[in-house]
Amino acid sequence: MIAGEASRRAIASADDRVLLISAPDGRSVTGREVEAETAGLALALQREGLAGRRVGLWSWNSVAAIEAHLAVEWTGGTRVPVDPGAPPAEAAAIFKAAEVAGVVVDASHAADAPPGSLVHDDQAPLSAPGTLATREVRPAATHLLYPRMAAEGQFLAVPVSYANWAACMFVNAELYRSGHYGDGFDADERFLTVQQIMHGTGMLGTFPFLDMGLPQVILPRFDAAAVLETARRYRATATFFVPGMVTRLADAVAGAGLPDAGPLRRILYGGAPITAADLNRAIGILGPVLVQVYGRFEGGWPLAVLGTDDHEDLVRQATHAGSCGHPIPQTELRIRPVPGHDPGWGELCVRNGMVVADWADPDGWCGLGDLARLDDDGYLYLGGRLDGMINTGSYHVYPREVEQALTALPQVQAALVRGEDDATWGQAVTAYVVPSSARSAELGTSGSAKAEAEAEAVADAELAEVIRAALRHRLAAYKIPKRVILVSSLDDVP
């Protein structure tokens, strides 16, 4: 297959039509300009010997960031993106573990990037002259290496192939056009990219819209007021959020006294649970625009959809409350029984063109590690993870990685990390920590048991915050425990 064939064809076909709009500055970029900038960057990568190799990417959302993702694809390479909010130590660990041949960053990350990194930024684009030739790749070649954990010398990442990526783009285009993501999809659609493009939004909106030759607006990061203002100014019709963004947008709409979400007529959201109260309130404020999606990088984004009509039913009669929707028609699905769980519940398994081969059995079935069931109406329900992975606000966190970062601190002797139920995050990363003997916050004698207990509680709270602060130099913000609970022994953890 030709690397980047669909995106190159769509972008070239757009010609002088605007494809990308940078917010808040409003800079418009036509298809011809996207093609030229991306080809120039791809030629620069080729000049550096990076064509067809693993390339690290570390940038906030921008036109240049999209060009960087496309340029690696057009050269037949493998993208290895790192969350732009990750601290330098974590980014360096991922790039090292992934054995990238080079790294492309924006200007804001240049000072902290690995030596020899290339800077490609909206204000300082990287380019080389020439004509970019097409490049053949094997369908099974890795297009996207999505990092999940780099700890204890182990690297866990999902190798999405070029064939997987093409299937994902095709499936999402079909879901938009068939009305699964809301009725009335037409030529005036405009996507708002606001979640960082390395995550679900890249697979559900940013790149499908490019492949469909449809325009999009790009915000560097989420801010509810900025989303409202940007959507209205540039007539954005669709976006993808995690649940916390949905509730914050509803708060912003209500706070501004607006009647609804304006031109946003399809707000896809997913990645984590949302409470019934928050969901009902959001529907009441934003209107009938919410579409819940469920997916996994190794099995497909998405795999199930809870449409706008289903959300209206939730408000009227709580029908199928807690469901993540119907499986999409482009996937096969079955529930594999798991010993020790109630009848009907088991591990969710899927088979489709988006399934990553490394996660599949010889028959092509991918076990997702999610406990699930189907009801008599064909709606899918999830019941937690089978492997201990924490899903916090749509981000996946592996306890072992956080435990390793904790025990590397001089204040920590031992640690146990797990996800605990949380109304805001679905699960909160929670750390039980045995302090090291060096901790000794010499409290002295206060004269009363009550005063000593109060002083100890203050010291514990201070130490917990010191630990959280130290982790900011080692882990991305979403991996830092929301709660640090000090215990004398891990045997005391309930």
Report the domain count for the chain. 1
C-alpha to C-alpha distance for 188 and 182, rounded to whole angstroms? 14
Beta bridge partners of 325: 380
Residue by residue, DSSP assigns 353-377 as TT--GGGB-TTS-EEEEEEEEE-TT
Residue 73 DSSP class:
H
Question: pTM here?
Answer: 0.86
Per the domain annotation, does 447 fall within a domain? yes
In a domain, 473, yes or no: yes
Q: How far apart are CA 388 and CA 349, in angstroms?
A: 18
User: Does residue 441 fall inside a structural domain?
Assistant: yes
Residue 222 vs residues 38, 148, 230, 233, 393: alpha-carbon distances, Å: 25, 22, 11, 16, 14
Encode 40-63: b = buried (16+ Cβ within 10 Å), e = exposed: bbbbbbbebebbbbbbbbbbbbbb
Please report whether residue 167 resides in a domain: no
Is the residue at 416 inside a domain?
yes
Residue 452 belongs to a domain: yes
Question: Hey, is 209 helix, strand or coil?
Answer: helix
Q: What is the CATH number of the domain that holds 469?
A: 3.30.300.30
Q: What is the distance between the alpha carbons of residues 112 and 98, in angstroms, rounded to a whole number?
A: 18
Q: Is residue 442 part of a domain?
A: yes
Work out whether the CA dihedral 400, 274, 245, 247 comes out positive or negative.
negative
* Domain interval for residue 483: 397-492
Q: Is residue 344 assigned to a domain?
A: no
Q: What is the pLDDT along the chain (494 residues), one digit of tens a residue?
A: 999 999 999 999 999 999 999 999 999 999 999 999 999 999 999 999 999 999 999 999 999 999 999 999 999 999 999 999 999 999 999 999 999 999 999 999 999 999 999 999 999 999 999 999 999 999 999 999 999 888 767 788 999 999 999 999 999 999 999 999 999 999 899 999 999 999 999 999 999 999 999 999 999 999 999 999 999 999 999 999 998 899 999 999 999 999 999 999 999 999 777 778 888 899 999 999 999 999 999 999 999 999 998 888 877 777 788 889 999 999 999 999 988 888 899 999 999 999 999 999 999 999 999 999 999 999 999 988 887 778 887 677 888 889 888 998 998 999 999 888 887 777 889 999 999 875 544 434 445 665 556 566 777 888 889 999 999 888 888 899 999 999 888 887 88
